[in-house]
Amino acid sequence: MRVILLPRTLFIVLSVACLLAVWLSLALGPVSLPLMDTLRACLRLMGLPVAGDHLQQAELILGQIRVPRTLLGLAVGAVLALSGVAMQGLFRNPLADPGLVGVSSGAALGAAVAIVAGASLGGIPEALAPYLLSIFAFAGGLLVTGIVYRLGRRDGQTSVGIMLLAGVAMTALAGSIIGLFTYLADDAALRTLTFWNLGTLNGASYARLWPLLLVCVLVILWLPRRAKALNALLLGESEARHLGIEVERLKRELILCIALGVGAAVAAAGLIGFVGLIVPHLVRLIAGPDHRVVLPASALAGASLLLFADVFARLVLAPAELPIGIVTVFIGAPFFLFLLVRGRT
Amino acid sequence: MIRAENLSVHRDSQCALSDIDLTLEPGRLLGVLGPNGAGKSTLLGALCGELKPTQGQLWLDDRPLTQWTGPQRARRLAVLPQSSTLSFAFKVQEVVAMGRLPHDGGQQRDAEIIQAALEAADALHLHDRSYLALSGGERQRVHLARVLAQLWPGEGGQTLLLDEPTSMLDPLHQHTTLQAVRGFADRGGAVMVILHDLNLAARYCDRLLLLESGRPFASGTPEEVLVPDALKAVFGLEVLVQRHPERGHPLIIAR
């Protein structure tokens, strides 16, 4: 495989793509805003003295709807892509998906419980009620990942092979319990559940945003520091140990990163599949497998891709809106098959 | 330098290795021989800390092996496993560069060392190729370059452990590989190498350890260890031992 772009060129291209995606995400929708108006309104939102009293409507749309939605898209895309890189490094397999350790299905289970049974759970403080879904989803993701990690531990070592199998089993178990809750749900809950499972950036609010942004910043700051160790881990666990890497600690940190990142992303935006799988893959195809490049480039590419997918989801059936999970899987699944077929030849 | 005293390893309550006393000395190349399942890889696993010994003491340089921290140890001890599973398309020079991870000698110095290690493993012409595009033997040489780079040049008595480094190589590269390992020892490194080819062992090793069912059967110079009776007892193989007409080391011929 040949490196198509040098890292610096790749970063320039991705940064431009990301800016373009942000602009499109801010400007397009049921009410389209001209470029300069978008820019001016954004500056005014930041409190800068920019002329333009006719921009009140634009400010309202941007401030209340599109800015949080765009931030949500950026954070979800970046975190899912980074979790994908971490997962593929952990399993030393370029086709591993962050859902493998059960974090997505655990989050989906938590969400199903919150949607279907949330109202009948007594004693929930009034202030927490709007976040019930997110909290349950996040906790579900962490819990299932914790169980899978626990099952993978043998004699002080973590066996990723056993974790993989345990993840498959836990995903199936979570699926059956979700099925049970789906069966018990009334029509309104069923609709919410279905749409949540398809993933959407719709209805983003700052309150739902900040926990994800916090996790996102943590993951973005931490993972690249371990880029060299991740490279060594790809050689094999004992090889990495002989190169002086504390492999058990690294694996724990990676699993924590994946659980926090995917848990927070799923809690904020529902199930958005295949971003964590295809983004790191594309980046590797273009720039090679060195994590010092793959990690930051995947974060940028994941954020851009998710925003483009969201803009597409907003526009294709306008004024109605397609759930973004449908868009990403519709692009992602054929791409995955393409990689499989290509890998065989 | 590694010193092991009275080393034993049990696996599933069975004795996989026992009564091992050995010292890997700077400048010396120790060959380990024995039939499949005799405990060669177990010995290597125990010496590098992958397997916990049930009994006995183990020192790397002047300290017990368990007291070393990761990067510190990695600058003194490198291990070449039988085979590696790397399924990402790193370039050959990037794989070798991973050997420099425990060091921070600067890019310039690292680049020189990577080049020298690749040259020693006769893999310099592969440096820009993708690892995944290489044959099994070429991959083995790349990993040899990686562990050589990790300890390069080896003048400080660093220890290198190799598990069948020639298993996938063509006849020429079996020799170039052992010449590279020999060179590392001659510069002052301490080396243990597991081999199956008795003639390669006779030619390149200073001392040999012959294992049978987890116990040392014989140890000494190639002349002392490679005798027909011992080989018959351990491998069940009838051999003639002659002198190499040019080099004088033992030459083992199956009857």
| ipTM for this model | 0.92
* pLDDT given for residue A345 in this prediction: 44
Residue A13 lies in a domain: yes
Q: Using CB atoms, which residue from A92, A238, A289 is nearest to B90?
A: A289
Q: What is the mean pLDDT of chain A?
A: 87
> Which of B74, B78, B87 has the CB atom closest to A93's CB atom?
B87
pLDDT in tens, B84-119: 889 899 999 999 999 999 998 789 999 999 999 999
Which residues constitute the domain of residue B98?
A: 2-254
* Residue B78 vs residue A57, higher pLDDT: B78
CB contact under 8 A, A288 and B98: no
Q: What is the pLDDT of residue A343?
A: 62
How does residue B211 score in pLDDT terms, banded at 50, 70 and 90? Answer: very high
Residue A49 lies in a domain: no
Dump pLDDT digits (tens) for A279-322: 998 899 888 899 999 999 999 999 999 999 999 998 888 778 88
pTM over 0.95: no
pLDDT band at A129 (very low <50, low <70, confident <90, very high): low
Residue A240 resides in a domain = yes
- Report the C-alpha gap between A187 and A190 in whole angstroms: 5
Both structure tokens of A212: 């994800």
- Give the domain CATH number at A295: 1.10.3470.10
A54 or B166, which is more confident? B166
pLDDT in tens, B48-87: 999 999 999 999 998 999 999 999 999 999 999 988 889 8
> Chain A: residue nearest B90 by CA?
A289
Q: Band the pLDDT of B241: cuts 50, 70, 90.
A: very high
Window 99-118 of B: residues touching A by CB (8 A cutoff) are 99, 101-102
Task: Provide the CATH number for the domain around residue B141.
Answer: 3.40.50.300
B52 touches A: beta carbon within 8 Å: no
Report the percentage of chain B scoring pLDDT > 90.
Answer: 88
Look at B71 and A244 and tell me if their CB atoms are within 8 Å: yes
Give me the pLDDT at residue A116, please: 85
Task: Say what percent of chain A tops pLDDT 70.
Answer: 94
Tell me the residue range of the domain where A84 lies: 7-20+68-344
Find out whether B185 and B29 touch, Cβ atoms under 8 Å: yes
Domain count, chain A: 1
Please count the residue pairs, one from chain A and one from chain B, whose beta carbons lie less than 8 angstroms apart: 70
Question: A284 in contact with B at a CB cutoff of 8 Å?
Answer: yes
Residue A3 has pLDDT above 70, yes or no: no
Which pairs with CB-CB distance under 8 Å and at least 24 residues apart come from A95-98? Answer: A95/A277, A95/A281, A95/A336, A95/A339, A95/A340, A96/A277, A97/A274, A97/A276, A97/A277, A98/A258, A98/A261, A98/A262, A98/A276, A98/A277
Residue of A nearest to B68 (CA): A244
For chain B, give the longest Cα–Cα distance.
55
Amino acid sitting at position A7: P
Which pLDDT band holds residue A186 (cuts at 50, 70, 90)?
Answer: confident
Report how far residue A85's alpha carbon sits from residue A97's, in angstroms, rounded to the nearest whole number: 9
In a domain, A48, yes or no: no
Quote the number of domains for chain B.
Answer: 1
pLDDT in tens, B166-210: 999 999 999 999 999 999 999 999 999 999 999 999 999 999 999
Average pLDDT, chain B: 94
CB < 8 Å to B70, chain A: 241, 244-246
The identity of residue A117, as a single letter, is A
Q: Which of B72, B81, B90 sits opposite A239 (nearest CB)?
A: B81
